[in-house]
Amino acid sequence: MVIDKSSPSSEWIAALRKRFPVEAEIDRVLTRKMQRRAGPGYMPLPLEVLVKGVESLLRSELQDAFEISEAKWLSGGASKLQMAFKLSWNRPGVGREKTPMVLRMEPAESIVETSRLREFQLIKAFEGVVAVPPVFWCDADGRHLPYPALIYGFAEGVAKPSAATSGVSGLGTHLPTELRARLAPQFVGDLAKIHRFDFRNKDLSAFDVPSVGTTQCAEWGVNWWERVWEEDSDEDVPLMRLCAAWLRQNMPVLDRPVIVHADYRLGNFLFTEHDSRISAWLDWELGRIGDRHQDIAWTTSRAFGHIADDGKTFLTCGLLPETEFLEQYERASDFKVDARAVHWYKVYNDYMMVALLFGTGYRIAHGGKTHQDVLVTWLMGIGNMLLEEMRSLIEEAV
């Protein structure tokens, strides 16, 4: 039976939901995506429309008068629309001020379909733990804006040195040696803080907690991305079929649930150039309560690093050799790193990335669903390298 994935039937959507059980909030956003799939593509939005949407949201949140000014588009990131603006308002505990802010809003369909509520809750939870931008308001269901969105404070800093060159999304950035030496300890230390964070007394109602001593965490993850592959993919990849089977046969048992950032890498933090301090961790949208090895595997991916000047040492995220990264992480977190679990999550992460790049990337660009289809199409080129990494990792394991 040929499925029309660009106009999926309610029966097919229901069958996928049953076949691939995931966290409740993940199920909600994936189901919403499929129910809207046949709808219109992304239409260019004038800044004025977004400003009006923000005004509507703020009228529902603020008692005092406010004014929005200096709205402009931002680039950066492959998944969401971003508008910078300034808000003149009576800030609680501060008084009247003009605050630089960013609206982060979904397009009609995103290369990664996630929950703004989860992102909002995670950033809120980490205020004062690691550097995060102040997050103010969330329009989780798009009641005020054309699509779901959140508003956070404009964080000071840069994602790469002002003079450096890099590819899109901060990939391919090469940092000077001196800057690497200053950022690397913070980079490792912050990951340890995130994983040691006690999340149980925080408002993380949009997250489910997987059971310790079981493979439920891994299974939710595989279900999530295999569901996305089924929902979005066009041209099949036999290696993806083998990978899904391999992942299910080798799922690791969870020893301790932690907050997983899920996109912890160079390009996703800002630092201030005058003192080389990490000033904000960004892009929490894929975060979950899960297994620390997911982050460790992600951060050490080939896609996010490069070969050092000696021509042979691979630098994790372009910052430090992998062995040093792992040793420093174990010291900082007091958690052991299980090489088998890292190996499994490397395969898992590659599977997720290929599902997003080749599956979702194709589907949304084909449907004209985003404000940057050309970027989404460009990024598909990474998928082949990740498939080769996946292939090598499975071959090593068997």
CB of 49 to other proteins, least distance (A): 15
Q: Say how far apart CA 360 and CA 223 lie, in whole Å.
A: 16
Q: Say how far apart CA 354 and CA 112 lie, in whole Å.
A: 12
DSSP 298-357: HHT-GGG-EE-TTSSPEEETTTEEHHHHHHHHHHHH-----HHHHHHHHHHHHHHHHIII
What part of residues 292-351 is at the interface with other proteins (CB under 8 A)?
302-303, 305-307, 314
Over the range 323-337, which residues count as b (16 or more CB within 10 Å of their CB) and which as e?
A: eebbebbeebbebeb
CB of 21 to other proteins, least distance (A): 18
CB of 374 to other proteins, least distance (A): 5
CB of 102 to other proteins, least distance (A): 13
Nearer to other proteins, 79 or 115 (CB): 79
Does 51 contact other proteins by CB under 8 A? no
Contact 301, 263 (CB under 8 A): no
CB of 171 to other proteins, least distance (A): 7
CB of 335 to other proteins, least distance (A): 28
CB of 226 to other proteins, least distance (A): 10
CA-wise closest residue to 112 among 369, 398, 395: 369
Contact 357, 314 (CB under 8 A): no
The 166-205 site mask, x for binding other proteins (CB under 8 A), equals -xx--xx---------------------------------
Stretch that binds other proteins, among 31-39, 174-182, 344-352, 375-383 (CB under 8 A): 375-383
Nearer to other proteins, 316 or 333 (CB): 316
Does 240 contact other proteins by CB under 8 A? yes
Nearer to other proteins, 78 or 117 (CB): 78
Does 368 contact other proteins by CB under 8 A? no
Nearer to other proteins, 140 or 237 (CB): 237
Looking only at Cα atoms, what is the longest distance across the chain?
64
Nearer to other proteins, 73 or 211 (CB): 73
Contact 386, 398 (CB under 8 A): no
For other proteins, which residue of 242, 323, 339, 340 counts as binding (CB under 8 A)? 242
Stretch that binds other proteins, among 50-58, 74-82, 287-295, 327-335 (CB under 8 A): 74-82
For other proteins, which residue of 40, 100, 368, 381 counts as binding (CB under 8 A)? 381
Q: Say how far apart CA 249 and CA 242 lie, in whole Å.
A: 11
Q: Say how far apart CA 82 and CA 63 lie, in whole Å.
A: 26
CA-wise closest residue to 134 among 169, 92, 168: 92
Supply 346's token pair. 């490397």
Q: Say how far apart CA 213 and CA 211 lie, in whole Å.
A: 6
CA-wise closest residue to 271 among 158, 162, 164: 158
Nearer to other proteins, 235 or 275 (CB): 235
Q: Say how far apart CA 319 and CA 180 lie, in whole Å.
A: 5
Over the range 178-212, which residues count as b (16 or more CB within 10 Å of their CB) and which as e?
A: ebbebbbebbbbbbbebbeeebeebebebbbbbee
Does 246 contact other proteins by CB under 8 A? yes
Stretch that binds other proteins, among 12-20, 154-162, 180-188, 232-240 (CB under 8 A): 232-240
Does 43 contact other proteins by CB under 8 A? no
Question: Can you give the binding site for other proteins, defined by CB under 8 A?
Answer: 72-76, 167-168, 171-172, 235-242, 244-246, 249, 302-303, 305-307, 314, 371-372, 374-375, 377-378, 381-382, 384-385, 387-388, 391, 394-395, 398
